[in-house]
């Protein structure tokens, strides 16, 4: 990936004995803009769940992030509730 991996505008795919393939990426701002646009589209289409990321996937990710926070000692005020 060129430049910062989370802000890249293009990336190169390099394989053995072939010229690199450069792929342009439609960069959509700093943060979660692309996710918000997807949620908006799902709501407009009457979907209760994204076909890309299920509720179960979201809950599993939250659980994983909570475990990582516990391992590295990150605590939030809301954790006491």
pTM: 0.56
pLDDT digits (tens, 9 = 90+) for 30-64: 667 888 999 999 999 999 999 999 999 999 999 99
pLDDT digits (tens, 9 = 90+) for 20-36: 999 988 777 666 788 89
Q: Are 13 and 21 spatial neighbours (Cβ–Cβ below 8 Å)? A: yes
Asked whether residue 80 carries a pLDDT value surpassing 80, the answer given is no
Note the pLDDT of residue 54.
Answer: 93
Note the pLDDT of residue 44.
Answer: 98
């Amino acid at each position: 990936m060129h430049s910062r991996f989370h802000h890249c505008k293009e990336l190169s795919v390099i394989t053995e004995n072939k010229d690199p393939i450069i792929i342009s990426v439609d960069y959509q701002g700093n943060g979660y803009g692309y996710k918000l646009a997807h949620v908006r589209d799902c709501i407009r289409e009457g979907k209760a769940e994204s076909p890309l990321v299920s509720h179960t996937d979201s809950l599993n990710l939250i659980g994983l992030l909570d475990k990582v926070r516990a391992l590295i000692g990150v605590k939030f005020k809301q954790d006491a509730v």
